[in-house]
Structure 1
Amino acid sequence: MRTTARIFTILMVFFLIVGTVYGLMSSLWDPAGLEPVGFAAILMLGGLSAMIAAVMGMNARRHRDRPEDDMHAPVSADAGIQGSFAPYSWWPLWCALAGAMVFLGVAAGWWIAGLGAVVAIYGVTGWVMEFSRGPYAH
């Protein structure tokens, strides 16, 4: 986690520098004034990177070193269960279909995005509740 905290700290510094330069350059080239959306978005991206870096830094102090933090760790040090995945699940297909419908709706018509939102609610609910019913219920 220390490595992840360092990466997001570097990203924070990068986005704050780029956001400041972008704000200065856009205010110099645009006689009407500062372009507010891009400047604010890049600075907020730096703030989001700072929040992730802070959380990862706190977790790195609280927990033991991860294998990715040790330069001499073997590949087998990170072996084991990486997650729990449902076999033969159809719910990711519904979620992908919903995402495609929402993005198509932005381009073609908002009513399609509304239908995609309904399908997304159905797909996400089914995927979250998959282990609570049927043969996989605990």
Structure 2
Amino acid sequence: MKAEAWIFVVCTVFLVLVTPAYWLVTDATEQGGDWTGTSALVMTTLLTAMVALYLGFHAKRMDPRPEDRKDAEIADGAGELGFFPPYSWWPLWCAAALATMVFGIAAGAWWLFIIASVPGALALCGLVFEYYRGEHAH
């Protein structure tokens, strides 16, 4: 975790240096200045600082992982890595239904939104309950 924390610390330092420079270059104090970019950079800086503090705090409290130790062997990282789901068609149908619903809202065709919400609900139920029935049931 220490490596990940240092990555976010470096990103935070970079953003702390870039944000005031961006503010000065775009001349945000004038009428037509770019407050949007400056605000986005400030929020990004705070976000990376928050992640760096979280990772740094937990890196001190947990045992080093094999990838954090310099004397670790490749075999130290062996073992079960977790569950990785097989192929699934449900995300495709969820995305298609959501795209149709958003298009219906954008076009002002509420009837299209209502029609697309029915297959959207079915696709979402299929995605949620995918591992409870069928070929990949647990």
TM-score greater than 0.5 by the shorter chain: yes
Superposition deviation, residue 44 in structure 1: 0.7
Which shifted more, 66-75 or 13-22?
Answer: 66-75
Structure 1 residues 90 and 37, CA, compared in 2 at 3 Å: closer, same or farther?
same
Output the CA distance in 1 between the equivalents of 2:120 and 2:79.
32
Alignment match, 2:82: 83
Output the CA distance in 1 between the equivalents of 2:120 and 2:12.
32
**Quick check: 1:67–1:78 contact (8 Å CA) kept in 2?**
yes
Superposition deviation, residue 14 in structure 1: 0.8
Structure whose residues are more often helix by fraction: 1
The C-alpha deviation readout for 1:14-35, integer Å capped at 9, x for no partner, is 112111110111117x853531
SS at match of 2:27: helix
Instruction: State the one-letter code of the partner of 1:65.
Output: P
Output the CA distance in 2 between the equivalents of 1:78 and 1:90.
32
Instruction: State the one-letter code of the partner of 1:93.
Output: L
Output the CA distance in 2 between the equivalents of 1:14 and 1:56.
18
Q: Map 1:17-36 onto structure 2 (within 5 A).
A: 17-27=17-27, 31-32=30-31, 34-36=33-35
Alignment match, 2:14: 14
Alignment match, 2:2: 2
Structure 2: runs of 5 or more not aligned: none
Question: RMSD of the TM alignment (CA)?
Answer: 3.2
Q: So what's the TM-score if we normalise by structure 2?
A: 0.70
Structure 1 residues 98 and 78, CA, compared in 2 at 3 Å: closer, same or farther?
farther
Aligned positions, number: 128
The structure with more radius of gyration: 2
Structure 1: runs of 5 or more not aligned: none
